[in-house]
Amino acid sequence: MAKAKKQKQQHGSYAVDYWGSHPDRNNDDCWTGRDFPSKEEALAFYNAEPAYYFNSSTQFIVLSDPTGQILCIRKNPGYQPTPDDQSDWKREAAMQAAMAFGCQGWNDYYG
């Protein structure tokens, strides 16, 4: 089972979270999450297709118990990687340029 720990949810609730990468990568890219009072409600949401605005960007869907322990991780069949997803180093370099030169630095880097 996954080693990753998720952020603490409401006491006594199950959580379903949408991740941009596998939780074990420790990228801290959990897009959003939702808490449920029962395991059955959480499982129904976990097995449903993500909302349209998260479907293409959510790579993994995670179900956690009330203690924060990850119970299930599944790949999102609607995930569609973009060219930006394949070039994290380029985005990082653009971010460095933006920190040094503001928006102009970001725009100059991406042309």
Q: Across 1-111, where does the E strand assignment appear? A: 14-19, 30-36, 60-64, 70-75
Alpha carbons 88 and 15: distance in angstroms, whole number: 28
- Provide the residue range defining the domain that includes 91: 81-111
Same domain? 58 vs 70: yes
Q: What are the residues facing 27 on neighbouring strands?
A: none
Share of the chain above pLDDT 70, in %: 84
Could you report the per-residue pLDDT of 37-84, keeping only the tens digit for each? 999 999 999 999 887 778 888 899 999 999 989 999 999 988 887 766
Arithmetic mean of pLDDT, 11-35: 87
Same domain? 68 vs 105: no
Q: Domain count of the chain?
A: 2
Same domain? 28 vs 75: yes
Same domain? 22 vs 47: yes
**Three-state secondary-structure class, residue 6:** coil
What is the pLDDT of the chain when averaged over all its residues? 83
H or E element at residue 5: none
CA angle 14, 17, 23 (to 5 degrees): 115
Same domain? 48 vs 73: yes
Does pTM top 0.85 for this prediction? no
